[in-house]
Structure 1
Amino acid sequence: MSEYINVNALQQIDIDEIIEAQEVKSESRESEEGYKRLFELSPDAICVHSNGKIVLVNLAAEKLFDKKKSKDIIGRSILDFVHPDYIDIAQDRIKIIYEGGMITPFIEEKFIANDGSIIDVEIGTSAFRYNHKPAVLVVARNISQRKKMEKKIRESEKLLREITENISDIIAKTDVEGTIKYVTPTKNDILGYGLGNVIGKNLFDFIYLDDKKNVLSKIRKSINTTINQKLEFRCIHIDKHIIWVDGWFNTLLDENNKVIGLILSARDITKQIEAEELIKENKEKTRLLNQAIEYDKFRTDFFANISHELRTPINVILGTLQLMELKFKEIFNENDPKNKGYLKTMKQNCYRLVRLIDNLIDVTKIDAGYFEIHLSNCNIVSVIEEITLSVAEYVENNGISLLFDTEMEERIIACDKEKIERIILNLISNAIKFTNAGGNISVNIFERKDNVVISVKDTGIGIPKEKQECVFDRFIQVDKSLTRSREGSGIGLSLVKALVEMHGGKVFLESEVNVGSEFSFELPIKQLLDSEAVYVNNSLNADNNIQKIHIEFSDIYF
């Protein structure tokens, strides 16, 4: 009977197995649903490639390839989306998977999107079975943004490296103990040690001894307050000289804000410090110069006043002596030779005082800019010749031979006749003082292209080489000893130089010890225009000339 139930058959059915099979089937469906959900929601693009074609893709793949629907991808080869530069690599990977059924690691490749743009991807492949057939599972991750960020980072690192390698400043990293962990490889190595001799050394090994205390104080303050500290201090160059640096100390903190090190940036300011010192030195020199100018002005005023004050009584004394000389027979016993000698000595020393006072007055006028020369057209040959011949008797009375010679008979030039006479008298006076009896003095005139040269040459004691540069300086004498045998104030030659230069000329000296000296000066050959020319009679007033000679030769005792 159909309704008959085979009890024995029912007894052979295991109810637990049926329940277990149903549970496995249910779990399998749940697992399949879970994988399907992961497949659809994965942020990475997933493709199943079987028999040379894409058979399954997720939403991320559609987005990666810029396709609106999966049907635009399914049925195409994965190689259609691979960049030409990576086709061979992709083919080899697929072949290896089909043949060996292995998993290949993720590598970077490039895909081409629907719009032709290039996509950087990180791709992994694995053997897979789809619908009971061998397939390749392709997982691709879009890393274009990451690649852009990596490029920017590389560019930033390159820029930072170029900056640190070319910056002239030192940037160093140390631990809290001061041990140098890093220093920029500057092209301009401030201290000259090189990287190899700096890393691992202590910062204080390179700091000048007297500045270590200040540097340590700044570092401690920076560590305690985490506030940047600035300090100018000295370092020791490898060549042992001092380098001034402008340093900044910055603290390095960990995630707990604990100080773990220091960053030191230092700039070489040696030239700046030297410039500042030079400015200070120049300011001090300027102060001293202004002080000297004030003192010189005071001295000039003093000499001017005292010279004028002295001139009046000296003139009175000299006038009295001249009057006494005229009345000699009435006042003194003319048979007593001592009386004339006393009178002559007093007159000569009055002349010396007059000469000294005149020189001081002229010097102060020159310093104050009030001294003037009065140019006129005159025969310079006649001027020099006549003043030279007028002192011949004085020279010969000292047992010295005086010679005059000229290359020309006449040369009209613009000069101050009185000042030229004074120059010649001064030079001849000096020659007499330093030439012993039996010697020679020669006065010569030479004509050059644009100048007339006047020379006074003697066979005297000469001037040492080391003294020749200063003989024209004011108040300078070659023999400064208290027992010097020649009188003089040291003003004459400086005045000669000033008078010659006021004529637009120059003074020269050639001398050799125990051979003699030659003082020469040049005057430019030029004349005043007719509209301003003044022609002077070259003949000298005898009485006036004798007075000048007495004054200029007052240092010489005849």
Structure 2
Amino acid sequence: MKLSFDFFRGLIIGALTVGLITAALSLAHMRTQILSIGNGSATGPVWYVTGVERELQEFEFALAYYELDPTTANNVTLRFDILWSMVASISQGDVAAKLEDFNVDYALLEQMPELLKKHDAAIMDIGALTREERMDILLEFRALNDEVHQVGMKALQASSAETLTWRETLLSVSNNNAVVGIILIVIVTILILMFQFDRVAARRQLREKDALLVAAEAASVAKSQFISVINHELRTPLTSIKGAISLMSAGALGKVPKTFERPINIAERNCRQLSSLISDLLDAEKFSSGAMEYKFEPINLPQFLTEQIETHASFADSYGVTLSIQPPVPELIVNGDAHRLGQVMSNLLSNAVKFSKSGDHVTVSLEEQNGRAVVSVTDTGRGIPEAARDKVFERFQQVDSSNERERGGTGLGLSIVKAIVEAHGGHVDFDSVVGEGTTFKFDLSLVK
């Protein structure tokens, strides 16, 4: 009986040894495949073409904006020089070789230096050109950008196809490892049952923790990819759209017919709203992940609030609403991030304006209470129902969430306000009477 047991145990150990050797060989094969993927990564060429496309867009925008502000000539030449350096680098590294492996025609990229050389002297002396000449250059580069975009899309498609091939190869190796793993698990389980039954539970718990870790990492990657798509696929084309609409609105492309003025104004306003939406989404993600950075410095609140009113005056005018700061304004200094506090004022002022009627007045006031600076924004709009108080500062929440609501918005503005104010060690709240108006207040610690 003892002989049979020893033989059975030896047989299991032998099978376990063979399985371990097989698993080691399979893992070595997988390592070789992973190294080949790393050596043949196509992200460089894809990002290169995308970078050329982005720099083309930046140059287009700079050239278009020059028509509105001739003092930006240095920015035009700077963007042109950056574009030139990007294009010149195709001869370096393996970008061209990889594009050729993809069967992607990159002749356009090789021809771009000639085009840049053709316009080099004109761009360096941009002020000497007529508006028609500058428009011709702008249209030529805009057409070129469309062609570069097509090259980038082809490179991305080829890269995706190559990645899929790598994935299928690794999946095949992984499946083989899974089969070997199952065999090893069966053998090891028998040995565990023979010697240490309690290890079964311990190994199961370890596998469960590993699975949870993989799931958490996958969720984090998916979230980061979503934010990246928002930033690249929405913000980049929106910049070009805003530039084109600004040109038309300013008359840089010719006098705008009366019948076109209102649609252009609507498009321009919607571009601003979409840009604000993208910024709010990105900021909301930074707040939730704790990645938001602040640059604290002394701020003269009366001067800061006056500048904010001046900045938002034109927006209020479009709604027929006036903005003012209520005197007397004390000289109060706080320590804060001017850019982020500007977001707070922008959200509070825009909300007050949007929910006011034409002819109404929005007032900003500043006072000192118990050693703290208290900023108030008061409107005479519709007011906020008491039943909605608890959800006002929640993300993606609006007092009027129906499809027929009069004013747009994402429901992120006040949640961002709350996060910024609390990051400054302050508190935000509001008082409201339905039909009479609303006052939002936030406080900040004074510099002693």
| TM-score of the aligned structures, taking structure 2 as reference length | 0.49
| TM-score of the aligned structures, taking structure 1 as reference length | 0.39
Report the structure, 1 or 2, having the larger strand content.
1
Report the structure, 1 or 2, having the larger helix content.
2
